C-alpha cells in the first residue's frame, strides 16, 4: 500500500526555477489563482458505471508545474484512472511516483511540470483542465471530491519561481458525488468587474461596477466588497454593500466610487469579493479589475559621484549620475551636470520606463578651469505635469582643482650651490622625485596639505639654463612640474694694471687697466678704481674706456697738498651675464716724491760723483796694463 506523498515535488521544482527567475522579468497575475473540481456536483450515476471529473485552473500566469491531491470516499467510489490534460507533460519522478492512485486510503495525486528552462508556461484567465480523473461507482451514497488544502499535497509554481499555495494566492473549490439524493448548493459568483477609466490623475473619481450571479440552489442574501491594492497582497476597502434576496440564476450589478485623492501614484487593481455565509464553490467569489494607473510624472536624480575629488588642472574628472523614473509614464528628458554654476555637459535620456533607472557618464575636462574648490550637481529637467521637483537636483561633494607649483631659492648659482625647493598645490599624500634636468637628485613625499620642502646641491653641469623637474603620475594622468635654474660661471676674470714706479708732485698720473676672461679682452659690467694714500685714506678714481677691455685711469698729483710716499692702486672688476658672474682684482703701488727742481741738485751731485768714480777706475786700469807689457 502506498502512503500519502508528504514531500511536494513542486518544492524541488521551485529550487530549480530560482536560477531561471534570476534572469527573467517577473510578471505577477493580479487575480487569485483558482483550482477547482469540475463539475462541482455529479449525480445520478448508478452502481457499476463510471464518470469523470476535471481539475481546472484559472487566473494563472506562466504556470510551470502543478501538484494536487484529491480525496474521495472509498466505500462509494474507486478511482480507476487519471490523465494529464495540460501541455505540462513532464512527470518529474518515476518512483515513488508523485502521480498515483491510492484506493486503499482514498486519494489521487497528480503532478506534472514543463521541461526545465521553460520560460512561457501556461497562462489562462478562464478555467482550463489540468487533469482528468475517472471513478467507478461501487455503492449508493454521497462522496466528497475534495482537493487537499495543505501545501505539502497541493501547490502550483510559475516559471519565475513563485509558489502558488492556499490560502495565500490560491482559492480551492471542491466537488461532490451523490446517487441517493439531490445535491443542492449555495454558490454566489462574481462575474465581472468594470471601471470607467484605467488611467487617472490623483484626485479623480473612478466608477466601479461589480456584477454578481446566483449559481446556487437557494435565494441568497450576501455582501459585496470593493477594495484596492498596489501590491495585490494588502488591500484597502473602498466599500461594502449588501445584496438582498438574489434569486436562483439571477444576476445584479453593485456600483461603487473610488476617490483617488491622496492616493500615491502607481498601478492598482480593484478586487470584488462576494461573501456568503456558506458557499460551496468559493473559487468564483473573487474577481479583479483591469490594472488602473494613477498617473504621475516624476523624474529624480538619485545618485551623483565625481572621481577623483582632487585633481590637477587639465585632468579629467569622471561623474557618475543615476536617474530614475518614479512616475507611471515613460519619460524623455535632459540631465545637465554643473561645476558650481558652469555647465559640464548635457545628456538626453530617452524613453525611461516607469520604475526603471539609467546610469549616465559625464567627463569634465578641467583644462583652463582656475584652481579652487567646486561643487558638482546634476539637474534633471522638469517633465510636463511633474509636481515633485525637489528630487530633480542632486548635489555631490566638492572637487578640488590645484595647479602645482615649484619654488626654488636661489634660482641661479654656480655648481655646488645649495638650492631649496618648495612645492605647493600638489595632490595630498603622494610620492614623487626631483630631477635636475633628467638627473635624479632626491625623493619627495607630499604632505596632507599638498606641500613639500626639499634641498639639493647643484650637480656638475655647464653654465646656462637648466630645469628642476618633479614628474608625478596621478590617477592615470602624467604631469611634470618644472622650475628654471641657471648655472653661472664664476671663473675669475683677469685684471692687469700698467702703473709707473715714481711720480712727482704736480704731475698727472695715468694708469691703464686691462680686463680679460679666458684669454680674451672683455668689457666688464662694473669697474672700480680705488687709490689708497700713504696716510691710509683712499679715493675712488674715475676711468675711461678706450677699447674692448682697456680702461684709462687718471690721477692729478697736487704740487702742494699731495703727500709723498707709497701709493696703492686697487682695481676691482665684475663681469655679469645670464650665465656668468665673475670677479677679478689687481693691486699695484707707486711712489710720489717732491718736485723735479728740488731733486735736481741731488741728482746732479750723484751724477758728478759717478763720473769721477768712473775716471779714477779708468786710470787705474791703464796703469796696471803697462806693468804686463
- The beta strands (E) that lie in 425-475 are given as 431-436, 439-445, 452-457, 464-474
Architecture of domain 9-178: Sandwich (2.60)
Question: What was the pLDDT predicted at 272?
Answer: 96
pLDDT digits (tens, 9 = 90+) for 57-91: 999 998 999 999 999 999 999 999 999 887 776 66
Question: What was the pLDDT predicted at 159?
Answer: 87
pTM of the model: 0.51
Question: What was the pLDDT predicted at 95?
Answer: 39
Model confidence at 298, in pLDDT bands (50, 70, 90)?
Answer: very high
- For residue 459, give the nearest of 490, 420, 415 by alpha carbon: 415
Model confidence at 15, in pLDDT bands (50, 70, 90)?
Answer: very low
Contact 515, 527 (CB under 8 A): yes
Residue 174 has pLDDT above 80, yes or no: yes
Contact 414, 489 (CB under 8 A): yes
Mean pLDDT, to the nearest integer, of 451-479?
Answer: 89
Residue 361 has pLDDT above 50, yes or no: yes
Residue 446 has pLDDT above 50, yes or no: yes
Sign of the C-alpha dihedral computed for residues 150, 152, 156 and 158 taken in this order: positive
Q: Give the CATH number of domain 188-294; options: 3.20.10.10, 3.10.620.30, 2.60.40.10, 3.40.50.150.
A: 2.60.40.10
**Distance between CA atoms of residues 596 and 52, nearest Å:** 165
pLDDT digits (tens, 9 = 90+) for 398-439: 999 988 999 999 999 999 999 999 999 888 888 889 999 999
Most confident of 331-340, 398-407, 604-613: 331-340
- CATH number for region 405-487: 2.60.40.1930
Contact 359, 321 (CB under 8 A): yes
Q: Give the CATH number of domain 494-594; options: 2.60.40.1930, 3.40.50.300, 3.90.1150.10, 3.40.50.2300.
A: 2.60.40.1930
Q: Compute CA distances 374 → 212, 369, 400, whole Å.
A: 66, 10, 6
512 vs 11 pLDDT, higher one: 512
Q: pLDDT above 70 covers what percent of the chain? A: 87
Question: What was the pLDDT predicted at 2?
Answer: 42
For the ranges 8-22, 267-281, 350-364, the lowest mean pLDDT is seen at: 8-22
Query: What residues contact 255, with CB distance under 8 A and at least 6 apart?
Result: 207, 208, 209, 210
Mean pLDDT, to the nearest integer, of 524-550?
Answer: 95
How much is the mean pLDDT over the chain? 87
624 vs 587 pLDDT, higher one: 587
The domains of the chain are located at: 9-178, 188-294, 299-402, 405-487, 494-594, 600-629
pLDDT digits (tens, 9 = 90+) for 219-270: 999 999 999 998 777 899 999 999 999 999 999 999 999 999 988 888 899 9
Contact 480, 468 (CB under 8 A): no
**Distance between CA atoms of residues 251 and 211, nearest Å:** 7
pLDDT digits (tens, 9 = 90+) for 16-60: 444 444 333 333 345 789 999 999 999 989 999 999 999 999 999
Query: What residues contact 326, with CB distance under 8 A and at least 6 apart?
Result: 296, 298, 299, 300, 355, 388, 391
Residue 629 has pLDDT above 60, yes or no: no
Question: What was the pLDDT predicted at 462?
Answer: 93
DSSP bridge partners of 470:
481
Distance of CA 80 to the CA centre of its chain: 67
Residue 605 has pLDDT above 70, yes or no: no
Query: What residues contact 382, with CB distance under 8 A and at least 6 apart?
Result: 299, 389, 392
Q: Would you identify the CATH topology of the domain 299-402?
A: Immunoglobulin-like (2.60.40)
User: Which helix (H) or strand (E) covers residue 273, if one does?
Assistant: strand 266-275
Position of cell 791703464? Answer: 622
Cell numbers given for 217: 440552489
Residue 524 has pLDDT above 60, yes or no: yes
pLDDT digits (tens, 9 = 90+) for 610-620: 555 555 555 55
**Domains 188-294 and 494-594 alike in fold:** yes
pLDDT digits (tens, 9 = 90+) for 553-599: 999 998 877 899 999 999 999 999 989 999 999 999 999 998 765 55
pLDDT digits (tens, 9 = 90+) for 101-118: 999 999 999 998 887 666
Per-residue DSSP letters for 585-624?
Answer: EEEEEEEEES-HHHHHHHHHHHHHHHHHHHHHHHHHHHHH
Question: What was the pLDDT predicted at 39?
Answer: 94
Question: What was the pLDDT predicted at 611?
Answer: 55
Question: What was the pLDDT predicted at 296?
Answer: 87
Amino acid at each position: 500500500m502506498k502512503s500519502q506523498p508528504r514531500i511536494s515535488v513542486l518544492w524541488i521544482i521551485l529550487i530549480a526555477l530560482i536560477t531561471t527567475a534570476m534572469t527573467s522579468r517577473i510578471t505577477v497575475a493580479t487575480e487569485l489563482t483558482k483550482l477547482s473540481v469540475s463539475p462541482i456536483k455529479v449525480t445520478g450515476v448508478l452502481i457499476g458505471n463510471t464518470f469523470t471529473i476535471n481539475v481546472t485552473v484559472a487566473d494563472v500566469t506562466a504556470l510551470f508545474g502543478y501538484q494536487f491531491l484529491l480525496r474521495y470516499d472509498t466505500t462509494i467510489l474507486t478511482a480507476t484512472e487519471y490523465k494529464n490534460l495540460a501541455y505540462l507533460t513532464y512527470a518529474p519522478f518515476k518512483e515513488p511516483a508523485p502521480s498515483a492512485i491510492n484506493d486503499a486510503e482514498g486519494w489521487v495525486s497528480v503532478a506534472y511540470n514543463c521541461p526545465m528552462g521553460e520560460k512561457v508556461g501556461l497562462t489562462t484567465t478562464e478555467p482550463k483542465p489540468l487533469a482528468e480523473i475517472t471513478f467507478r461507482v461501487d455503492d449508493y451514497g454521497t462522496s466528497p471530491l475534495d482537493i487537499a488544502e495543505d501545501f505539502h499535497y497541493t501547490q502550483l509554481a510559475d516559471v519565475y519561481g513563485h509558489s502558488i499555495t492556499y490560502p495565500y494566492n490560491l482559492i480551492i473549490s471542491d466537488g461532490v458525488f451523490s446517487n441517493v439524493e439531490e445535491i443542492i448548493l449555495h454558490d454566489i459568483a462574481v462575474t465581472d468587474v468594470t471601471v470607467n477609466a484605467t488611467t487617472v490623475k490623483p484626485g479623480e473619481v473612478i466608477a466601479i461596477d461589480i456584477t454578481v450571479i446566483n449559481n446556487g440552489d437557494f435565494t441568497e442574501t450576501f455582501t459585496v466588497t470593493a477594495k484596492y491594492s498596489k501590491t495585490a497582497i494588502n488591500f484597502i476597502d473602498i466599500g461594502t454593500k449588501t445584496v438582498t434576496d438574489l434569486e436562483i440564476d439571477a444576476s445584479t450589478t453593485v456600483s461603487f466610487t473610488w476617490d483617488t485623492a491622496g492616493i500615491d501614484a502607481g498601478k492598482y487593481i480593484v478586487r470584488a469579493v462576494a461573501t456568503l455565509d456558506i458557499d460551496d464553490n468559493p473559487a468564483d467569489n473573487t474577481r479583479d479589475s483591469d490594472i488602473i494607473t494613477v498617473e504621475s510624472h516624476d523624474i529624480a536624480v538619485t545618485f551623483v559621484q565625481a572621481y577623483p575629488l582632487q585633481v590637477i588642472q587639465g585632468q579629467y574628472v569622471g561623474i557618475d549620475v543615476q536617474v530614475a523614473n518614479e512616475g507611471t509614464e515613460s519619460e524623455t528628458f535632459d540631465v545637465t551636470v554643473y561645476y558650481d554654476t558652469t555647465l559640464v555637459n548635457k545628456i538626453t535620456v530617452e524613453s525611461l520606463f516607469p520604475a526603471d533607472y539609467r546610469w549616465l557618464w559625464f567627463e569634465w575636462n578641467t583644462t583652463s578651469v582656475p584652481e579652487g574648490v567646486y561643487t558638482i550637481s546634476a539637474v534633471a529637467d522638469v517633465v510636463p505635469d511633474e509636481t515633485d521637483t525637489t528630487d530633480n537636483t542632486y548635489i555631490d561633494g566638492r572637487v578640488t582643482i590645484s595647479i602645482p607649483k615649484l619654488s626654488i631659492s636661489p634660482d641661479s648659482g654656480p655648481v655646488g650651490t645649495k638650492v631649496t625647493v618648495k612645492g605647493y598645490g600638489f595632490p595630498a599624500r603622494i610620492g614623487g622625485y626631483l630631477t635636475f634636468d633628467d638627473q635624479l637628485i632626491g625623493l619627495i613625499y607630499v604632505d596632507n596639505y599638498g606641500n613639500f620642502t626639499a634641498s639639493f646641491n647643484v650637480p656638475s653641469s655647464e653654465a646656462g639654463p637648466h630645469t628642476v623637474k618633479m614628474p608625478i603620475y596621478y590617477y592615470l594622468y602624467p604631469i611634470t612640474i618644472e622650475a628654471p635654474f641657471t648655472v653661472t660661471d664664476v671663473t675669475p676674470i683677469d685684471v692687469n694694471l700698467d702703473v709707473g714706479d715714481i711720480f712727482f708732485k704736480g704731475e698727472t698720473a695715468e694708469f691703464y687697466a686691462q680686463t680679460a676672461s679666458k684669454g680674451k679682452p672683455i668689457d666688464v659690467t662694473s669697474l672700480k678704481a680705488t687709490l689708497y694714500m700713504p696716510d691710509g685714506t683712499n679715493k675712488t678714481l674715475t676711468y675711461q674706456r678706450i677699447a674692448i677691455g682697456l680702461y684709462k685711469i687718471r690721477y692729478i698729483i697736487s704740487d702742494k697738498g699731495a703727500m709723498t710716499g707709497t701709493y696703492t692702486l686697487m682695481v676691482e672688476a665684475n663681469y655679469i651675464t645670464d650665465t656668468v658672474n665673475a670677479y677679478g682684482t689687481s693691486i699695484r703701488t707707486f711712489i710720489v716724491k717732491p718736485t723735479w727742481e728740488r731733486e735736481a741738485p741731488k741728482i746732479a751731485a750723484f751724477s758728478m760723483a759717478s763720473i769721477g768714480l768712473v775716471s779714477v777706475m779708468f786710470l787705474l786700469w791703464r796703469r796696471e796694463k803697462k806693468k804686463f807689457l
